Amino acid sequence: MANERFRTVWDAIEPDAEKAAALEMSANAMIAINEAIMSMDDATAAAFIGSTVEQARAIRAGHIDLFTPDTLAGFIAHAGLRPVVPFTVAA
């Protein structure tokens, strides 16, 4: 097996560029949500982001596959967080 190099970890996980970008944005959203709810209990965290307790737990557990980017954006908006998305030109 040849050593294949990827530009980012997301490119290694997902060969489709659009899906890789969505995965990266979702991961960044989940990190931001996790940081915002870190000190909260499950019920408080769920109310803060406008989700169910099960969804808040899934975010804490890193289950990225359970959420669309739109769903995560809704949680961010409900929490009053301001998304900042830096973009760079791909090499």
- Among residues 53, 79, 83, 55, the alpha carbon closest in space to that of 68 is found at 55
Residue 32: CA atoms inside 13 Å, Cβ hemisphere, count? Answer: 20
What is the rounded CA–CA span in Å between residue 22 and residue 45? 24
Kindly indicate the confidence band of residue 91, based on its pLDDT and cuts at 50, 70 and 90: low
CATH says 11-78 is which class?
mainly alpha
**Residue with the larger pLDDT of the pair 79 and 10:** 79
- The residue-averaged pLDDT of 7-19 equals 88
* Global confidence as pTM: 0.83
What is the rounded CA–CA span in Å between residue 71 and residue 56? 12
Kindly indicate the confidence band of residue 84, based on its pLDDT and cuts at 50, 70 and 90: confident
**Residue with the larger pLDDT of the pair 71 and 91:** 71
- The model's pLDDT over 24-69, given as tens digits with 9 standing for 90+, comes to 999 999 999 999 999 999 999 999 999 999 999 999 999 999 999 9
